[in-house]
Amino acid sequence: MRREYIRSTLLISASIAIGVVGWSGHVALLPVAMGFPVLWSLTRTRLLAALVSAGYFLAASRGLPQGVAAFYSSDIWPGLLLWFCASMSFVIVHAILWTKNAGTRPFRYLLAAVFMAMPPFGITGWAHPVTAAGVVFPGWGWWGLGLITAGLAGLVTRIWPAVAIALTGFWLCSAATWTDPKLPETWRSVDLELGVSLGRDAGLQRQRDMIATVRGAASDGARFVVLPESALGFWTPTLERFWTGVLRDGEATIIAGAAVIDADGYDNVLVAIDSKGGSILYRERMPVPGSMWQPWRSWFGDSGGARANFFANPIVAIGADRAAPLICYEQLIVWPVLQSMLHDPDFIIAVGNGWWTKGTSIVAIQRAAARSWGKLFAIPLVIAFNT
């Protein structure tokens, strides 16, 4: 009994360590997350499988309680509640699909991986080990995704040490030759440090400051300038006319985050503005559950919250190119990027507004995930964040 207790403690502790290290925000460490399926397969009871899953997920998403407290200007308890609620889908899926039968275990794990990559469970499918595909198999595209999926299945079999050695070999080869996805030559991205005021300060001076920032970014001949999520605040006809007038004598196109409000709620969007006018380029497919996307409001006849435009506009046309947009939360889950990649985009645009994540690794994790996906499919990455 004592030996089994020690073994269980070691498995849970190891799962926590893997969650912390793998999701530390360093892109080169993402493959550490592939240790989770090994630990899951080594458990001997369904309860222990649930505890190992909980340890991994809670450690990987450890920045959530502090971030939620900052977002709502509240104490830590609402964040802790959301943290544990968010972990439930991951824990339940991996606990139910756990099995003692070694012959069916790979199929069971693959099923769990698919469930956590696609809605509805994939809505909170953070910390998915498949995100490491771009670090282990950079440039391999869908073949790389298939190989890492097969590798994850192999890690829950009796030959997992051999599979782990093979995957580690690919990982080390990739690390030795790693280069970040390149920014397209005619594109510029702008990171801001405006904190909570971004998107909330609608004054004329803020718009003038933003214009000065854009002009500085475009001063060397850039054709496209990308600003973070919420950079323009509320998108209105007045704001469109203002920015169109500013850009009338230039050739640059501005891609920026904004919000479009109506009586039923709002859309978190990217807008494109040039000398001819502005238009909504992209509507976010998956806003942050809880803080932005609140579907339960409609159950009680209420309105408000951000709309989730599930599976809509996976790519957008910008000039002669096609882009895969990912706004904030969409960088943490799997299905939006894979849906976009099915349409063979020319590059990824990843934007976010992470002022509320100060003191956590959330923004670093978002950047790492976006870089990994860009490397997997060997396409350029344009990334802009506000902190």
Asked if the bond preceding 120 is cis, omega within 30° of 0, the reply is: yes
| Same-domain check for residues 121 and 258 | no
The residue whose two tokens read 């060397």 is 220
Instruction: Please give the DSSP secondary-structure letter assigned to residue 333.
Output: S
pLDDT at 174: 94
As a whole number of angstroms, the distance between CA 332 and CA 345 comes to 19
| Same-domain check for residues 191 and 296 | yes
User: pTM of this prediction?
Assistant: 0.94
Instruction: Give the domain-ending residue among 176, 201, 230.
Output: 176
Q: Which is nearest to 112 in space by CA: 60, 162, 152? A: 152
| Same-domain check for residues 43 and 169 | yes
pLDDT at 375 over 90: yes
In a domain, 257, yes or no: yes
**How confident is the model over 371-383, as a mean pLDDT?**
96
Q: pLDDT category, 268, cuts 50, 70, 90?
A: very high
Percent share of the chain, pLDDT over 90 = 72
Q: Tokens representing 19?
A: 């969650």
**How confident is the model over 340-358, as a mean pLDDT?**
94
In a domain, 7, yes or no: yes
**Across the strands, what pairs with 349?**
325, 382
Q: Which is nearest to 270 in space by CA: 153, 384, 192? A: 384
CATH number, residue 371? 3.60.110.10
pLDDT at 256: 96
| Same-domain check for residues 120 and 202 | no
pLDDT at 289: 87
Percent share of the chain, pLDDT over 70 = 98
In a domain, 150, yes or no: yes
**How confident is the model over 108-130, as a mean pLDDT?**
96
Tens of pLDDT along 143-195?
A: 999 999 999 999 999 999 999 999 999 999 999 999 888 777 889 999 999 99
Instruction: Give the domain-ending residue among 154, 176, 198.
Output: 176
pLDDT at 88: 94
In a domain, 54, yes or no: yes
pLDDT at 50 over 70: yes
In a domain, 43, yes or no: yes
pLDDT at 292: 86
pLDDT at 199: 82
| Same-domain check for residues 335 and 200 | yes
| Same-domain check for residues 157 and 112 | yes
pLDDT at 74: 64
Residue of higher predicted confidence among 266 and 67 = 266
In a domain, 181, yes or no: no
Report the domain count for the chain.
2
| Same-domain check for residues 199 and 152 | no
pLDDT at 72 over 70: no
| Same-domain check for residues 252 and 307 | yes
As a whole number of angstroms, the distance between CA 200 and CA 220 comes to 30
Domain with 264, as residue range(s), is: 187-386
Tens of pLDDT along 80-111?
A: 887 888 899 999 999 999 999 999 999 999 99
Instruction: Please give the DSSP secondary-structure letter assigned to residue 192.
Output: B
In a domain, 182, yes or no: no
Distances (CA, A) of 55 to 20, 36, 60, 90: 10, 10, 9, 11
Tens of pLDDT along 239-263?
A: 999 999 988 877 889 999 999 998 8
| Same-domain check for residues 100 and 229 | no
In a domain, 369, yes or no: yes
| Cβ contact 387:355 at 8 Å | yes
The residue whose two tokens read 């919250």 is 305
| Same-domain check for residues 297 and 379 | yes
| Same-domain check for residues 257 and 142 | no
Q: pLDDT category, 73, cuts 50, 70, 90?
A: low
Instruction: Give the domain-ending residue among 153, 176, 199.
Output: 176
User: What is the bridge-based pairing of β-strands 347-353 and 321-327?
Assistant: parallel
Q: pLDDT category, 1, cuts 50, 70, 90?
A: low
| Same-domain check for residues 123 and 245 | no
**How confident is the model over 34-60, as a mean pLDDT?**
97
Average pLDDT score over the chain: 92
